[in-house]
Amino acid sequence: MRLELLVHRIRDLRAGAPTRLGGGVLTVDTAALGEALRAAAGIEVRVELARPGESVRLSNVLDLIEPRCKDDAGGAYFAGFHAPLQVAGSGGTHVLEGLAVVETGALRGLIGGVIDLSGAAARLTPFGSLHHVVLETAPRAGMDKTSYAAAIRRAGLEAACLLARACRSAAPDERRTYDLSLTAEGSASSLPAAGADGAPRLPRIAYVCMLHALGDTRESYLYGQRVRDFTPTLLHPNEVLDGAVVSHHYDISPGMKNTTYTFQNHPVIRDLYARHGRDLIFAGVVAANQPVRLEDKECSAFMTARLSAHLLRADGVIITKEGAGAGDYDLMRQCQAHEAMGVRTVLIDNEQINASGIGEMPLIDVTPYAEAMVSTGNVEELVHLPEVARVLGGDTMVNVPGSLRGPLRLESIVIPGANSTLGLTSMATAHV
């Protein structure tokens, strides 16, 4: 399976007609895009633009998506949603790098986040350095949160595809290839077999991607399907990078949620690819759900470990989770099941301590088998957000008191990408 990303780097963003890309400048017809999204989603949608460095705060942020489309006649993307069911991860995909479609919306039961685009607070999240096409949405009268969230998702995916398709005629700045038959240097792989001519055998490392499955507005989708009832399954890593996983986390704390953008640019998968053929063999990906019932959690861990150990023949695995609380239990059960089958584990998780960073229970559950863990930070760390000139996405938020223009002092859990359990976070390098 060979995926080629046709990367168009967005260096500036402006309003105008028609929507087009030239010289790294993306011009967006905001009126036409808004009209198309209102027709597609059936809710009110207003399109605003924001650039990095501007004194702008994005509020009520529910999801972020990188604009992409396939390099074929239809240009469809997000199989199972925007495109027919087909295997993702092959062929050419146009990518507008440095740009995100931002879904915003406010309704009782939805939990939005804030993103600053200027100053030190912008460095609290990797999304602070992007250009943004902001979708300010409003529900129809009497609309419940489940229907509203589904409509927001339709608008976001539609916007991401429309923007990318408008730029397909532009020459890409880079062609980036993902193919497990190639080494990290991009040449054909000639990885040594175990013990061949005395050559050392590279360790086989797999990745276990656990997906949340706890409710109609708190789950991830795989090929357009809910993951709450599915059995752990093998994926080619290209499928994840090419839109097979879509976030639908609209009532989970923003700082720890994994956005659709995060899956499209999955840091664990990209890092394993970068080392493939050099000091490890990237064995593959197992997608596992995080069920509600205790016995289902145990079964999911067992079935996942079985795939890692016996089909992928992994020596080690990296395991990530979504959400908090019960997600820690899922993570530890996965760790224990893999270690019991002889597969060494590395876990990635965030911590919930308190504002001081000193607490007795940073994780809800632990197991003695968890000997190697990577922390993505404390979601209760207090951070300062200064006053800004403009707020996009709504003037108020249910989980943030006072004026959103600031200044604000909030826990990092309110900032999307601050403590991502997939590792797409910049908190470690932020100084505020």
| Nearest Cα residue to 208 out of 28, 47, 330 | 330
Average per-residue pLDDT for the chain: 89
Strand-pairing partners, residue 382, are 411
| Nearest Cα residue to 37 out of 163, 144, 166, 131 | 163
State the pairing for strand pair 99-104/56-65.
antiparallel
Least confident span in 19-33, 44-58, 371-385: 371-385
Least confident span in 64-73, 78-87, 372-381: 372-381
Average pLDDT over residues 49-78: 93
Between CA 425 and CA 337 the distance in angstroms is 28
State yes or no: pLDDT of 140 exceeds 50. yes
| Nearest Cα residue to 30 out of 171, 221, 162 | 162
Burial class (CB in 10 A: 0-12, 13-18, 19+), 430: buried
Between CA 339 and CA 209 the distance in angstroms is 17
Q: How confident is the model at residue 429 (pLDDT cuts 50, 70, 90)?
A: very low
Q: What is the pLDDT of residues 247-289, one digit of tens each?
A: 998 988 888 789 999 999 999 999 999 999 999 999 999 999 9
State yes or no: pLDDT of 389 exceeds 50. yes
At 115, the amino acid letter reads I
pLDDT at position 432 is 33
Between CA 246 and CA 234 the distance in angstroms is 17
Q: What is the pLDDT of residues 106-138, one digit of tens each?
A: 998 899 999 999 988 899 899 999 999 999 999
pLDDT at position 431 is 31
pLDDT at position 211 is 93
User: Which of 85-89, 91-95, 192-196, 213-217 has the largest mean confidence?
Assistant: 91-95
State yes or no: pLDDT of 402 exceeds 90. no
State yes or no: pLDDT of 165 exceeds 50. yes
At 307, the amino acid letter reads L
State the pairing for strand pair 174-179/91-97.
unpaired
Q: What is the pLDDT of residues 213-250, one digit of tens each?
A: 777 888 899 999 988 878 899 999 999 999 999 999 89
Between CA 297 and CA 427 the distance in angstroms is 31
Contact 338, 374 (CB under 8 A): no
